Amino acid sequence: MAALFRRKPAGREGEWYYCLKHRKVEEGPECPAKDRFGPYATRGEAEHAMDTARERNAEWRTDPRWNDKGDKESAGEGDGHDKGT
């Protein structure tokens, strides 16, 4: 059964978001939370959301506090399988 009323995403003016679905910056938000990063304080921060996410992912992958794999795998040098060579 379809919802009679769709809830519009709530946000405040001056809050900026990056929509993953449409790949664009929004003030508001316009799209559901599952499809966006944010809020950001400025439009510029939202424009660089994907860069920020890539940087944070790289930091996480190399952070020894969060990585319980061997040093070789955590540095991206192995696939976790011995090839026997």
Domain annotation covers residue 82? no
Domain annotation covers residue 40? yes
Domain annotation covers residue 38? yes
Domain that holds residue 43: 16-63
Give how far the C-alpha of residue 61 lies from the chain's centroid of Cα atoms, to the nearest Å.
14
Q: What is the pLDDT along the chain (85 residues), one digit of tens a residue?
A: 555 556 655 667 789 999 999 999 999 888 999 999 999 999 999 999 999 999 999 999 988 887 666 555 544 544 444 444 4
Domain annotation covers residue 36? yes
φ, ψ dihedrals at 16, nearest 5°: -115, 145
The pTM of the full predicted model, rounded to 2 decimals, is 0.62
Number of domains the chain is built from = 1
Domain annotation covers residue 77? no
Domain annotation covers residue 75? no
Domain annotation covers residue 55? yes
